[in-house]
Amino acid sequence: MVLPEQVEEALANGEARMKRSGESLERELGGIRTGRASPSLVEHLSVDYYGTPTPLNQLATITVPEARLLVIQPWDRQTFRAIERAIQQSDLGLNPSNDGTVIRLVLAALTEERRRELVRLVKRKVEEGRVAVRNVRRDVLEKLRDLEKKKEISEDDLRRAQEQLQKVTDAHIAEMEREGSRKEAEVMEV
C-alpha cells in the first residue's frame, strides 16, 4: 500500500534526522580514547586559531606511526602553542610534547578504573543518541497526527505510517546499541 506524499516526506525527513543522530554518535564515540592511538581521538578538537575555533584536522596532519603514539604536524608553525593548549584543556588526559616540528602524544596504557569510566561515558553517549532518535520519532508522530486531524490522511494511513516509523526507529536504536557495544569492547580490550 502506498502512503500519501506528505506521509512519505515526513517519514523520509525523520529517517534522515535519525541517521544524522547515528553519525553524530559515531563521531563522539570515535573521540573516546581506547588503548590504541587513532586520529579520530583528536581530529575534532577545537583549536583557537587566530580567534576562530577550528577543528585540529583543518590545521595539521595527524598520523599514527605506532600503536600508542599520535604525531601532529601543524601546517602553520604559529599554531603549535594553540594546539598544545587545546589538547591539554581537553578531557583526554594527554600531555603533548613539542620538538619544534611535530607534536607527539604518547598514549599511556589505560588503568582498569579509567576503562570503567570510559565505558560509562560510552553508555551515556549511546543513551543520548537513543534519546535523540526518540525525539525525532516524537516530532514525526506529531506531524503525522496533525495531518490526520486536518483530514489530509486517513486513520489507516496514520497507523501504517506509525508502524513504519517504529520499525525505522528500532533499526536506528539497534545500530546505536551495536556501535556502543563495539566501543565498550574496544575500551575494555587490554
Examine the domain organization and report whether 120 and 177 are in the same domain. yes
* pLDDT at 2 (0 to 100): 60
Examine the domain organization and report whether 100 and 119 are in the same domain. no
pTM score of the predicted model: 0.71
Examine the domain organization and report whether 99 and 76 are in the same domain. yes
Domain endpoint, select from 73, 106, 139 = 106
What digits encode the pLDDT tens for the residues 27-58? 888 777 666 777 877 877 888 888 888 888 88
Tell me the CATH number at 98: 3.30.1360.40
Domain endpoint, select from 64, 89, 106 = 106
Q: Are strands 60-66 and 96-98 parallel, antiparallel or unpaired?
A: unpaired
Residue 92 cell numbers, joined: 583526554
What digits encode the pLDDT tens for the residues 92-111? 777 888 888 888 888 877 78
Examine the domain organization and report whether 24 and 82 are in the same domain. no
Nearest to 125 by CA among 188, 181, 171, 166: 181
Write out the residue range of the structural domain in which residue 148 sits. Answer: 5-30+111-188
Domain tally, the chain = 2
Examine the domain organization and report whether 116 and 100 are in the same domain. no
Q: Taking all residues of the chain, what is their mean pLDDT, rounded to a whole number?
A: 86
Nearest to 21 by CA among 105, 161, 128, 120: 128
Q: For residues 41, 42, 46 and 50, what is the CA-based torsion angle, rounded to 10 degrees? A: -170
Examine the domain organization and report whether 116 and 171 are in the same domain. yes
**Element at 72 (helix H, strand E):** strand 69-74
Domain endpoint, select from 58, 85, 106 = 106
Examine the domain organization and report whether 121 and 167 are in the same domain. yes
CA Rg value for the chain:
22
Residue 85 cell numbers, joined: 593548549
